[in-house]
Amino acid sequence: MNAGAQIIATLLKRIFRSYPMMMLRYNTLPPFIHPQWISSPGEKNYLEPLTNCMSLVHMISAGVSGGSKLFWRNVRQECDRLCEEHTTFDKWQLLAATQALLMYMLMRLAEGETEHNNFDIPLLSAMMIMLNGLRSSLGCQASGFVDHDANWKDWIFEESRQRLGLLLRIISMVVIIEPTAMCHMRAGLILAPLPARKALWEASDEEKWTLERNRDVGNKSEFGLTDDGELVSLDLYVERSDETPYPEQLESAKLLPRSSTNWEEWCSGMDGFGAIVMLAASLPR
């Protein structure tokens, strides 16, 4: 990398390192984990991987002697447990497990290799298993675009999955991680679809979410980042599955004539995800 790209990569890594710290604060979460998952009352067994992750993060933050060794030993056990039990998980459990594994990956990236965390292959293997499970459970829904008629709960799931996938892709611009090879991106794009507006993501209940969603009716609300760093509105999406790959002649149909979108206007409606998308746009390809 040249000096400018190295600075951008360093800034991205600093943002990645901040995500585990967010879990230590009251009522704050990284921008790929929806706040409703943690704050809403009721039985939520599907969140067990995430609650375990939060407990482990709090444990290592206490700074006790031998804490790092104990933390990574528990992470390794959690990876093994998730791999053993994943066939019994529904899509929500698979998503929560993948989010937890991503958090461990970010902590591994922040620490660098140590004698306690040197098990990258089991960690990445667990991530691949969860992603494969998600893809299998969703079938043709694995396209990555949110149904405009989806209810709030379904929207939270799909938007969370989109954000997780985007973060994996952005991380892969800084370090090599194999799971991103599973994501098929349309010709001319490096990131798509981009996250939904902050007002939608942070809506505290379904009524507020519906109100914000109605404001998007008739407006282009899905965006992508092109390989030349341009922000564009996406007007057309052709679904793809491994069983029905795109014919070559459809490659040009994946994007209608592109309409440039104002970066400042887009960022004004974004949460913390906006910063890493803009930094990713600045990295050379």
Cis check for the bond before 49: say yes or no (omega within 30 of 0).
no
Q: Which two tokens stand for residue 114?
A: 């140590």
Q: Which of 133, 132, 126, 130 is nearest to 77 (CA)?
A: 126
Query: What are the sequence ranges of the domains in the chain?
Result: 3-282
Each residue of 41-50: pLDDT tens digit? 455 677 899 9
Q: Which of 208, 165, 204, 186 is nearest to 253 (CA)?
A: 186
Burial readout 248-274 (b: 16 or more C-beta within 10 A, e: otherwise): eeeeeebbeebeebeeeebeeebbbbb
Q: How many Å apart are CA 129 and CA 31, to the nearest integer?
A: 23
3-state secondary structure of 14: helix
Average pLDDT, integer, range 250-261: 46
User: Model's pTM, two decimal places?
Assistant: 0.85
Better-scored residue on pLDDT, 47 or 243: 47
Q: Which two tokens stand for residue 78?
A: 């959690």
* Helix (H), strand (E) at residue 223: strand 223-226
Each residue of 112-169: pLDDT tens digit? 899 999 999 999 999 999 999 998 877 545 455 556 668 999 999 999 999 999 999 9
- In DSSP terms, 224 is beta-bridged to 232
Phi (first) and psi of residue 87, to 5 degrees? -70, -15
pLDDT band (50, 70, 90) for residue 4: confident
Q: Which of the residue ranges 95-109, 182-196, 267-281 has the most confident prediction, judged by mean pLDDT?
A: 95-109
Residue 38 has pLDDT above 70, yes or no: no
Q: Which two tokens stand for residue 73?
A: 């030993």
Q: Which of 9-18, 32-41, 139-148 has the lowest mean pLDDT?
A: 139-148
